[in-house]
Structure 1
Amino acid sequence: MIGYGFMGAAHSVGWRQAPRMFSLPRAVEMAVIVGRNPDGVAAAAEQWGWAEAATDWREVIARDDIDIVDIVTPGDSHAEIAIAALEAGKHVLCEKPLANTVAEAEAMADAATRAAGSGIRSMVGFTYRRVPAVTFLRDLVAQGKVGRIQQVRAAYRQDWLVDPQMPLAWRLQKEHAGSGALGDIGAHIIDMTQFVTGQEVAAVSGTMETIVRERPLQGSGSGLSGTAAEGMGEVTVDDVAIFTGRLEGGALVSFEATRFATGRKNALSIEVSGDEGALRFDLEDLNTLGFYDRTAPDELQGFTRILVTEAAHPYVEAWWPAGHMLGYEHGFSHQVVDLVTAIAEGTDPHPSFADGLSVQRVLDAVERSSENDSAWTRTAAGVPAA
């Protein structure tokens, strides 16, 4: 695993837990974790259960005993590391968003296609797909439970930047992060919308805003090199992105990605409305789904709460008895299960780098729309904007 910040901890939990709770087709060894700071990465290796620590990712991906490279670094290094790893014959798991630009994402997707010809697999870490309730929501939509999709509402709200004294972290610098709330959390709701509906976002109309434009400087942290600094630095990414999307099938989607939703800590929600019913999910109640059956008799109308903890639900059988709740960290174990299973079976895992590229194109279209007075802007899906 390359990188050892917040996502490093989450991925480490997944790699450690999956082989113990699921019957994986291949054994998994947490061989080496890589970071620039020798002391920091050594401490992470000891705490999270990696056999060894290293500081040069190029040396690590050249090793014969490494089969999978897991990339949890900031977005500005995704393309270089992922392409090098694929060309070295390593399977790759890369955190979202896939890259910082469409050009980088295209290069990564091309490298993944070339590598697939030699049996090398690649996957993007859109982990919320693997919350059992979200996977089940996708399955119900595919079964026609809501009928023809007419509208979708998707939002991801956080408040960790409301305090103007929050230091200038790498996530607030375009050269490292690519974009702000849009790419960091907006990417999740774009991917989730495309995942559960089975349709790509064809066009967008959006607005982005940076609310606090300067913040106190700090050392870069999160495994990056850097030293403490004094003074203020410019925030070069968005704090809020609000946009409308049109799916390939014609339905409209309202998207909101914000780090300024006071009181909201990690509030991801989606609601899919169709002509025969509706489904809704909220990450702050992640073991449940709301289901509305419009075809039911009048006296039974209303949203039904489904507790997604039964053994018949996706991924749940390997865990606890019904009603014993799962949490945020379980999605990372499910991610490992799906990746290792695909590698063993010789199949392409999802979300693929092509899926990641699709999301990147939507992110890019939102930025272009915002720069052009919120004009409707097509993505690569190629459907007319209106």
Structure 2
Amino acid sequence: MIGHSFMGAVHSQAWRTAPRVFDLPFDVDMTVVCGRDPKDVARAADRLGWGDWAADWREVIRRADVDVVDICTPGDSHADIAIAALAAGKHVLCEKPLANTVEEAERMAAAARVAGEAGVRSMVGFNNRRVPALAHAACLIAEGRIGEVRHVRAQYLQDWIVDPEFPLVWRLRKERAGSGALGDLGSHVIDLLQHLTGERLTGVSATQATFITERPLPTESSGLSAQAGDQRGQVTVDDATAFTGRLEGGALVVVEATRFATGRKNALRIEVNGSRGSVAFDFESMNELLLYDADDPETEAGFRRILVTEPGHPYLGAWWPPGHGLGYEHAFVHQVHDFLTAVAEDGSDPRPSFADGLQVQYVMRAVERSAADSSRWTSIG
């Protein structure tokens, strides 16, 4: 695993847990974790359960005892690490968004195609696909339970940078993160709405805002717990992004991604309206799915709550008795299960593939171009 901060800790827990919950096709040996600072990564290896540590990702990729490389670094290093790992014959799991630019993502997808011909697999980590309630929603939509999709509205709302004195961490710098709320949060809902509906976005009209343009530089940690110093620097990413769009089938899409929704900590919400019904999900009630069936008699019409904890629901046959809900980290455990299962099948790349990640990158580029051009309607190549 390359990187050991927030995402590294979550992925580590997933690698530790998945073999204890699921009957995986491989034994999992958490061989080595990599970070830039030797002292920090040595502590992380001990804390997170890794057998060894390294301070150079190139050293990790050269190791004969490494079969999988899990990339949990900021987006500016995804392309170099992933392409080198694939060329070395390592299967790759890479955090979202796939890269910081379309050009980097195109190189990664091309490398994945070449590696795939030799049986080397790759996947991008849009973990919300693996939330059981959302996986169940995808099944219902695919089965035609809500009919023809007509509307999708999706929000991802956080508030962790509302304070103007919160320091200028890497997620607020375009050269490290690629974009702000758009890439951090918007990429999740773009992937999710296309996954749920089975349709791609064809065009967008977007707007973006940066509410606080200058922040104190961090003095210690570069993570969410960073300390602010006396010097200040420029915020070079969006604080919030909103756009309307169209799906291939003509459905209207409305998306909002912001880190300035005061009071909202991690509110990922999505609703899909169809000709025969609707489904709605809110991450703050992540074990629940709301379903409206337009075929119900009017005297019984209304959204009904499905508690997604039954053994017949996606992933849940391996977990607890009905009614015992799962949490944020479990989607990453499911991600490990799906990734290794796909690698074992040796037929095609697991989904979402690098090609899927590239398509999300095309959408994000169209959003940025539209926002920079007075919200002009922008087609997605």
User: Shared topology, TM-score over 0.5?
Assistant: yes
Residue 302 of structure 1 aligns to a residue whose secondary structure is coil
Residues 57/254 of structure 1: CA separation in 2 closer, same or farther (3 Å cut): same
2:365 is aligned to: 364
1:169 is aligned to: 169
Q: What code does the residue aligned with 2:112 have?
A: A
Q: Distance in 2 between matches of 1:183 and 1:345?
A: 31
- The CA deviation string for residues 201-247 of structure 1, in whole angstroms up to 9 with x for no partner, is 11000001000000010147358xx9985311100000000101111
Residues 149/76 of structure 1: CA separation in 2 closer, same or farther (3 Å cut): same
Q: Distance in 2 between matches of 1:100 and 1:84?
A: 17
What TM-score do the two structures reach when normalised by structure 2? 0.98
1:237-276 pair list within 5 angstroms: 237-276=237-276
2:4 is aligned to: 4
Q: Distance in 2 between matches of 1:59 and 1:217?
A: 31
What TM-score do the two structures reach when normalised by structure 1? 0.96
2:49 is aligned to: 49
2:320 is aligned to: 320
Q: Distance in 1 between matches of 2:168 and 2:260?
A: 15
Q: Distance in 1 between matches of 2:257 and 2:176?
A: 19
Q: Distance in 1 between matches of 2:265 and 2:167?
A: 18
RMSD of aligned Cα (Å): 1.3
**Does residue 207 of structure 1 match 2:215?**
no
1:194-233 pair list within 5 angstroms: 194-219=194-219, 221-222=221-222, 230-233=230-233
- The CA deviation string for residues 54-107 of structure 1, in whole angstroms up to 9 with x for no partner, is 101101101111000000000000000000000000000000000000000000
CA apart distance, 1:297: 1.1
User: CA contact under 8 A between 2:167 and 2:228: conserved in structure 1?
Assistant: no
CA apart distance, 1:299: 1.4
Q: Distance in 1 between matches of 2:219 and 2:6?
A: 16
User: CA contact under 8 A between 2:165 and 2:228: conserved in structure 1?
Assistant: no
- The CA deviation string for residues 160-200 of structure 1, in whole angstroms up to 9 with x for no partner, is 01100100000000000000000000000000000000001
2:337 is aligned to: 337
Q: Distance in 1 between matches of 2:45 and 2:229?
A: 28
2:23 is aligned to: 23
Residue 230 of structure 1 aligns to a residue whose secondary structure is strand
Residue 367 of structure 1 aligns to a residue whose secondary structure is helix
Q: Distance in 1 between matches of 2:66 and 2:314?
A: 30
Q: Distance in 2 between matches of 1:202 and 1:164?
A: 36
Structure 2 residue ranges without an equivalent (≥5)? none
Q: What code does the residue aligned with 1:61 have?
A: I
CA apart distance, 1:343: 0.8
1:89 is aligned to: 89
2:76 is aligned to: 76
**Does residue 67 of structure 1 match 2:71?**
no
Q: What code does the residue aligned with 1:203 have?
A: G
Q: Distance in 1 between matches of 2:166 and 2:328?
A: 25
User: CA contact under 8 A between 1:132 and 1:316: conserved in structure 2?
Assistant: yes
2:284 is aligned to: 284
Q: What code does the residue aligned with 1:367 have?
A: E
2:14 is aligned to: 14
1:311 is aligned to: 311
Residue 230 of structure 2 aligns to a residue whose secondary structure is coil
User: CA contact under 8 A between 1:6 and 1:222: conserved in structure 2?
Assistant: no
User: CA contact under 8 A between 1:108 and 1:353: conserved in structure 2?
Assistant: yes
Q: Distance in 1 between matches of 2:344 and 2:229?
A: 48
Q: Distance in 2 between matches of 1:110 and 1:82?
A: 11
Q: Distance in 1 between matches of 2:62 and 2:366?
A: 37
User: CA contact under 8 A between 2:203 and 2:366: conserved in structure 1?
Assistant: yes
Q: Distance in 1 between matches of 2:359 and 2:228?
A: 37
User: CA contact under 8 A between 2:216 and 2:228: conserved in structure 1?
Assistant: no
User: CA contact under 8 A between 1:68 and 1:91: conserved in structure 2?
Assistant: yes
**Does residue 180 of structure 1 match 2:180?**
yes
Q: Distance in 2 between matches of 1:202 and 1:227?
A: 42
Structure 1 residue ranges without an equivalent (≥5)? 381-386
- The CA deviation string for residues 29-70 of structure 1, in whole angstroms up to 9 with x for no partner, is 100000001111111111110001110110110111100000
User: CA contact under 8 A between 1:37 and 1:55: conserved in structure 2?
Assistant: yes
Q: What code does the residue aligned with 1:241 have?
A: T
